[in-house]
Amino acid sequence: MIPATNKLMKIFLNGQLVEEAEAKVSVFDHGLLYGDGIFEGIRLYNGRVFRLEEHLKRLELSARAIMLDIPMSREEISAAVCDTCRANGLTDGYIRLVVTRGTGTLGLNPYLCTDPQIFIIADKIQLYPEEYYTDGLKIVTVPTRRSGPAGLPPMIKSLNYLNNILAKIEAINAGCMEAIMLNEQGYVAECTGDNVFILQDGTLHTPPSSAGALKGITREVTVEIAHTLGIPLVESNLTRYDLWVADECFLTGTAAEIVPVTAVDGRAVGTGHPGPVAGQFIDGFRAKAGSEGTEI
């Protein structure tokens, strides 16, 4: 998903809405120099921000994990997200909320950074091509491993996405738009910007976050839909074999929502067409996204 560029966009920056041209952070910001910061990608549907509380909670956990003090309360950020959407005349869109460590020296020491920057971009959304949903996505396992919890824990939604970008490059070079990333033990972790689910004999499986998966908000919504539909769901270590022989496979993420996968590593998944269960989850997700959320 690439946010569509909006003319005369208003950006929230450190407590106020400013013109896009004025929305600047320093070249000495450790967010830029070292990827030292955190972010959330959030969706606005029908004038409501979907799962805003959950996103803000995850942002707070990411901040705690990297010992970054967010210079605003949850209530203030929530109001700022809504203000930014309204200021840009949006009813549907994609929101990028970023907190950086701020300006420091050229050295690594984060304790020398005293002015964390917080900014919010609310843009129109350029949706993924409809064929992704009707025809399904072909994905491939790539050599780059997902960072393990002993290194950069994938549960932290940090600005350091090079691990995922290396995997994305490998996927695109192999002719696919998304990659399966394995962890150091060879188990499936997640995709570069999505969580992964498979259906096997009527049970859904998804890797636990300890296998190297972000605790995706859409993943949580998917768990709720599974409960509503009465479909058993387990978190379990998955191998490439499990993906190859799955009856169905789909990916979940804020930008992608729920996308069926029809091929993994050149092998057709199930019938090679989007499966009926994935379809039920897509419908279930769209019903929730269209009816829930924080009114802006």
List residues with catalytic annotation.
Answer: 157
Q: Does 289 bind ligand PMP (CB under 6 A)?
A: no
266: exposed, middle or buried (Cβ count in 10 Å: 0-12, 13-18, 19+): exposed
> Of these, 144, 158, 183, 254, which contacts ligand PMP (CB under 6 A)?
254
Sign of CA pseudo-dihedral 119, 64, 27, 123? negative
Least distance from C-beta 255 to ligand PMP, angstroms? 7
Instruction: Give the footprint of ligand PMP on residues 5-64 (CB under 6 A).
Output: 41
Give the chain's radius of gyration (CA, Å). 19
Q: Does 170 bind ligand PMP (CB under 6 A)?
A: no
Q: Does 253 bind ligand PMP (CB under 6 A)?
A: yes
Between CA 25 and CA 9 the distance in angstroms is: 16
Least distance from C-beta 212 to ligand PMP, angstroms? 9
Piece of the chain touching ligand PMP by CB under 6 A; list 62-70, 80-88, 191-199, 287-295: 191-199
In this structure, the number of other CB atoms found within 10 A of the CB of residue 79 comes to 14
Q: In the bound complex, which residue of the shown chain has the CB atom lying closest to ligand PMP?
A: 216
Least distance from C-beta 135 to ligand PMP, angstroms? 22
Least distance from C-beta 134 to ligand PMP, angstroms? 21
* Residues in binding contact with ligand PMP, number by CB under 6 A: 14
> Of these, 194, 278, 282, 293, which contacts ligand PMP (CB under 6 A)?
194
Spatial contact of 178 and 139, defined as CB atoms under 8 Å apart? yes
Between CA 180 and CA 97 the distance in angstroms is: 26
Contacts of 227 (CB under 8 A, 6+ apart): 233
Q: Does 214 bind ligand PMP (CB under 6 A)?
A: yes
Nearest CA to 120 out of 138, 93, 150 is that of 93
Closer by beta carbon to ligand PMP, 84 or else 252: 252
Name the helix (H) or strand (E) containing 118: strand 117-126
Between CA 170 and CA 144 the distance in angstroms is: 8
Piece of the chain touching ligand PMP by CB under 6 A; list 1-9, 103-111, 117-125, 250-258: 250-258
Q: Does 216 bind ligand PMP (CB under 6 A)?
A: yes
**Secondary structure of residue 286 in the 3-state scheme:** helix
Between CA 250 and CA 244 the distance in angstroms is: 13
Q: Does 117 bind ligand PMP (CB under 6 A)?
A: no
Least distance from C-beta 188 to ligand PMP, angstroms? 12
Interface ranges with ligand PMP (CB under 6 A)? 41, 164, 190, 193-195, 214, 216-219, 252-254
